[in-house]
């Protein structure tokens, strides 16, 4: 059987930006799929968590303090691969980050839907926009 990524309720809560109690309520109501492990603890499959994040994103959109402002921790929510290249989609809080990489890099990183990943963005051009204001 394939190695399936699973998250404890507290880990899922951190990735979702909510409390562990909220994740338990969502699991109890069926809003988020969760199973019990051999010890009776609730766990969320990485693919189920990725599907939820793809649809709903995180709930905490408040910025965090960090000196590495171009690092986005999130969950892999999509992977497209061919023989040479791959596209990886990461839901990092309210942000969707898409990366193009070699297929070899994807294989070396062993990424799969539901994996935790960090998108590190480095660019020589950054375009900043503000919302349109009606005068």
Residues near 42 by beta carbon (within 8 Å), at least 6 away in sequence: 8, 9, 24, 27, 34, 35, 36
Instruction: Provide the residue ranges of all domains of the chain, joining segments of one domain with +.
Output: 6-56, 71-120
Report domain 71-120's class.
mainly beta
User: Across the chain, what does the average pLDDT equal?
Assistant: 83
User: What pLDDT score was predicted for residue 65?
Assistant: 46
In percent, how much of the chain has pLDDT > 70?
Answer: 81
User: What pLDDT score was predicted for residue 125?
Assistant: 67
User: What pLDDT score was predicted for residue 107?
Assistant: 92
pTM above 0.85, yes or no: no
Domains 6-56 and 71-120 share a fold: no
Residue 126 corresponds to which tokens in the numbers above?
């950054």
Q: Could you tell me the pLDDT band of residue 42, with boundaries at 50, 70 and 90?
A: very high
Residues near 39 by beta carbon (within 8 Å), at least 6 away in sequence: none
Which has more confidence, 4 or 60? 4
What is the third-level CATH fold of 6-56? Multidrug-efflux Transporter Regulator; Chain: A; Domain 2 (1.10.1660)
Q: What is the tens place of the pLDDT at every residue in 57-114?
A: 765 544 444 444 577 888 999 999 999 999 999 998 888 999 999 999 999 999 999 9
Residues near 104 by beta carbon (within 8 Å), at least 6 away in sequence: none
In the predicted model, is pLDDT for residue 124 greater than 70?
no
């Amino acid at each position: 059987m394939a190695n399936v990524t699973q998250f404890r309720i507290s880990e899922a809560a951190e990735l979702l930006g909510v409390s562990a109690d909220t994740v338990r309520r969502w699991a109890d109501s069926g809003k988020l799929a969760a199973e019990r492990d051999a010890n009776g603890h609730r766990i969320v499959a990485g693919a189920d968590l990725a599907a939820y994040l793809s649809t709903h994103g995180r709930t905490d959109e408040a910025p965090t303090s960090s000196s590495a402002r171009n690092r986005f921790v999130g969950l892999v929510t999509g992977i497209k691969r061919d023989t040479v290249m791959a596209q990886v989609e990461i839901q990092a809080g309210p942000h969707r980050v898409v990366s193009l990489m070699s297929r070899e890099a994807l294989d070396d990183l062993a990424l799969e839907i539901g994996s935790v990943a960090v998108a590190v963005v480095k660019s020589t051009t950054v375009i900043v926009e503000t919302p349109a204001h009606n005068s």
